[in-house]
Structure 1
Amino acid sequence: MTMYRHPASDSTDCIRGKTGFTRNVHVWEIGWKKPQRGTHTIVGVATSSAPLHARGYKALVENSSESWGWDVVKNKLYHKSIHTGSYPKINGSPKIFIVPDKFFVILDMDKGTLSFMANGIYFGVAFDGLKGKTLYPIVTMYSVTYVTPLVNLKIS
């Protein structure tokens, strides 16, 4: 699946997957080129109640109590408008880890955790306490000047 956001002035949008997960382990690959990421580049999961649109330029995924996200440009984790820590925490990683054009999201609903991986390196648990929820893949769409091919999603 490839998702696009056409330029829209003074607004921010999210794209949420159609299938919610309640159990088992789910992995999906994100293909998102660095030049197309913009300033609000959040990847994560959300409940069906998370907001998908806002007027103005806002970071939607991390501003909701219904979503958990990783800002892949700023290397920060967010939930409920709270910066919950830098991520990833890899031995010897630079202060700003440059997330490659392709990376993986790992949602373990049996353990209630959300993790990420790239270049064969597992980054560890980003969020826990997700067990018992129905969660959907989500990304923030933010672009002002061009059509952004956002995600090539492969869920297994």
Structure 2
Amino acid sequence: MVGLHSQHQDLIRDGCDERWTWNKRDKSHEVKTSGDGLETAHFHPHWSNGTAGIRGNCVLNYGIHYWEIKVSQRIFGTSMMFGIGTKSARLHVDAFVNIIGEDRHSWGLSHKGLLWHNGNCRQYTKPFKENESTVVGMLFDGVAGTLTYFKDGVSLGIAFSGLEEVVDNIYPLASSTAAKTEMTLGVRRRGYQSLQDRCRVKILSSIHKQQEIDHLPLPSSIRSFIKDAACV
């Protein structure tokens, strides 16, 4: 637990910000996004007839990522979930189910404290208090192949392992069966992948417009590498 907390703090202190958002196209029709950065997902804005999910637009594989989801006070219902999954994970079903972790394509934690993967569940932590806002943090280590959850800044321990063996791209996921619930992205950080990556982030911190990259006195391959950065 101490090691996990240390890794989390190192990433917050020494990593770099990410600007990924909820994917406005890769979601259930029962999810609406809002905010300048599409950071808030509104589940079942009117009423709920099933389970709705949404995917983040950040590929997690191979890197170390930490992100937080601020959950509104409306915590209730059959299932509100936070996790990860591939493009094969379903994002909508006309039934009240634990959709993240229903099969081998996703891994999730429900607000009832249960971990789900491949249709199986196990107790992981205490159920969340209903109608009390909370912050759920997730630390994905693509090198070690682990996913760790945090609740209001406190590590709950490693939830899943073996994720380094997943070949398909893995993305952040969230879902809810409850009407008029909201989940808002908060802190998003990642670790540096190399010295070159660290230099890229330093360069980007001094650039205000992407067009400026084209005028840098650097080889075209390096300019392309800078443009590809998801971390600025």
TM-score range, shorter chain: 0.7 to 0.9
Give 2:135's match in structure 1, choosing from 96, 102, 115: 102
Label 1:108 to 1:153 Cα distance change in 2 as closer, same or farther (>3 A).
same
Task: Using the TM superposition, give the Cα deviation of residue 25 of structure 1 relative to its aligned residue in structure 2, in angstroms.
Answer: 0.9
The 5 Å alignment of 1:128-147 reads 128-133=161-166, 134-144=169-179, 147=180
Distance in 1 separating the partners of 2:69 and 2:146: 18
Task: Using the TM superposition, give the Cα deviation of residue 51 of structure 1 relative to its aligned residue in structure 2, in angstroms.
Answer: 0.6
The 5 Å alignment of 1:7-156 reads 7-72=46-111, 74-83=112-121, 85-88=122-125, 96=127, 98=129, 101-133=134-166, 134-144=169-179, 147-156=180-189
Distance in 1 separating the partners of 2:186 and 2:91: 18
* Structure 2 portions without partners, runs of 5+: 1-38, 190-232
Root-mean-square deviation over aligned CA pairs: 2.1
Which amino acid in structure 2 is aligned with residue 128 of structure 1? S
Is the 2:91–2:99 Cα contact (8 Å) retained in structure 1?
yes
Relative to its length, the structure with more strand (as a share) is 1
- Could you tell me the percent identity over the aligned residues? 27
Distance in 1 separating the partners of 2:163 and 2:63: 12
Look up the match of 2:205: none
Relative to its length, the structure with more helix (as a share) is 2
Which structure has the larger Rg over C-alpha atoms?
2
1:65-91 CA-to-partner distances (Å, cap 9, x unmatched) read 10001112x2111101101x2213xxx
Distance in 2 separating the partners of 1:154 and 1:61: 22
Task: Using the TM superposition, give the Cα deviation of residue 97 of structure 1 relative to its aligned residue in structure 2, in angstroms.
Answer: 6.0
Which amino acid in structure 1 is aligned with residue 66 of structure 2? V
Which amino acid in structure 1 is aligned with residue 89 of structure 2? A
Label 1:52 to 1:96 Cα distance change in 2 as closer, same or farther (>3 A).
closer
1:79-136 CA-to-partner distances (Å, cap 9, x unmatched) read 01101x2213xxxxxx546596112111111111000113442211100011143211
* Structure 1 portions without partners, runs of 5+: 89-94
TM normalised by structure 1 equals 0.82
Task: Using the TM superposition, give the Cα deviation of residue 7 of structure 1 relative to its aligned residue in structure 2, in angstroms.
Answer: 3.0
Distance in 2 separating the partners of 1:7 and 1:125: 36
Is the 1:100–1:118 Cα contact (8 Å) retained in structure 2?
no
TM normalised by structure 2 equals 0.57
| TM superposition outliers: structure 1 runs of 4+ over 6 Å | none
Report SS of the residue matched to 1:50: coil
